[in-house]
Amino acid sequence: MGENVVFTILWVILSVLAEIGDRVLIHHNPMYYIVSNQGELALQAFDFIMVVLTPVFVFVALFLLFTMVRFHTKRGEMPPANRRFAVDNKAFVVVWVGGSIVLNLLFFLHPTTSAMEQMFALDEPAANTHDLIVDVTARQWEWIFSYPQYGLTQTVNANGQDMLELPVNKPVEFVLRSYDPYHTYDQYADVIHSFWIPAFGIKEDVIPGETRYEYLTPTKITSFSVNPMVRVQCAEVCGPGHPWMEAPLKVVSQAQFAQWIKYEKSLANGAG
């Protein structure tokens, strides 16, 4: 009984210290850079699972160390009967299996089901009546962005690189397709790509012959120069140019976005 008390006290103390470490990690958030409403849902889910599972991890790690010390014997020796582990301890098995089932059911309901319900709500037509529509075309090995509401078929930066720019706090509807617009003889003449914006916490496969949609709202003014997570990156191996299939992203104010649209129109008119 005394050993159980010592183990329990150590487990509680270490769990409390680990939970404090979790709170510091969550507050400073050095692992992730999230600037969208969808990304926030994913980050909240990760934080919740980490906080709940920390005591479980401490228990397992401490149990392994405690067992190695408690049941340590020299080579060739048998431990005394009072130091042998009871493999048929029914109470331990019931608690361990029952606790595992409860945790899995909890994580299925929250955050999995609850977060998915919120994400599905973002896809409802009623929630996307005033979206900014961005057509995203994936081809080997380039991202092409067009803004049909503004008559822009391809937006680039001053260096001629494909550029995605979005206004902050404005819902965006991404229309995702995979084909090569420069070789229109076959709309399926490309491969599967994956539209990934790390800072938005989204990743959606882009498949030839299919049109897919992604909805989100940028929540912070930022850019690729501020954090490299603010970029469009292909996350599906699509050929030798796959590692370089990326494009910079900027999230700006409404006024700056309007100026950028004028700039892109002037480039398009000049090119014409």
- Print pLDDT tens along the chain (272 aa): 577 788 889 999 999 999 999 888 888 776 678 999 888 888 888 889 999 999 999 999 998 998 888 777 777 776 665 555 555 567 778 888 898 899 889 888 888 777 777 777 777 766 666 789 999 999 989 999 999 999 999 999 888 899 999 999 999 999 999 988 877 666 667 789 999 999 998 899 999 989 999 999 999 999 999 999 999 999 999 999 999 999 999 999 999 999 999 999 988 887 54
Paired tokens of 102: 């409860």
**Residue 272: per-residue pLDDT:** 46
Please indicate, yes or no, if residue 247 is contained in any of the structural domains.
yes
Together in a domain, 30 and 136: no
| pLDDT at residue number 14 | 93
Regarding whether 266 and 136 lie in a shared domain, the answer is yes
204 and 137 inside one domain: yes
83 is a domain residue: no
- Beta bridge partners, 145, equal 136
Q: Are 223 and 230 in contact (CB under 8 A)?
A: yes
> Is residue 57 located within the same domain as residue 177?
no
Could you tell me if 139 and 202 lie in one domain?
yes
Amino acid at 257: F
Nearest to 36 by CA among 119, 158, 126, 160: 119
Residue 115 and residue 156 in one domain: no
What pLDDT score does 93 carry? 81
Would you say the C-alpha torsion 218, 220, 223, 228 has a positive or negative sign? negative
Which of these three, 78, 104, 122, is where a domain ends?
122
- Considering the domain architecture, whether residues 66 and 38 belong to the same structural domain is answered as yes
Query: In degrees to the nearest 10, what's the CA dihedral of 109, 200, 214, 45?
Result: 0
User: Do 137 and 103 fall within a single domain?
Assistant: no
**187 and 107 belong to one structural domain:** no
Q: Is residue 77 part of a domain?
A: no
Q: Residue type for 173, please?
A: E
Alpha helices in the chain (DSSP H): 2-28, 37-70, 90-107, 114-122, 254-271
Torsion over CA of 51, 52, 57 and 62, rounded to 10 degrees?
Answer: 100
Q: Quick one: 218 and 106 in the same domain? A: no
The predicted model scores a pTM of 0.77
Q: Check whether residue 140 and residue 238 sit in a common domain.
A: yes
Domain of residue 13: give its range.
2-70+90-122
Burial class (CB in 10 A: 0-12, 13-18, 19+), 134: buried
Is the domain of 103 the same as that of 141?
no
- Tell me if 34 is assigned to some domain: yes
Decide which of 79, 102, 122 is a domain's last residue. 122
Instruction: Please indicate, yes or no, if residue 40 is contained in any of the structural domains.
Output: yes
Could you tell me the two tokens for 61?
């790690």
Q: How many domains does the chain have?
A: 2
84 located within any domain: no
| Residue 80, in any domain of the structure | no
Question: Do residues 231 and 223 lie in contact, with contact meaning Cβ atoms separated by under 8 Å?
Answer: no
At 241, which CATH number? 2.60.40.420
* 26 within some domain: yes
Closest residue by Cα to residue 200 from 186, 182, 220: 220
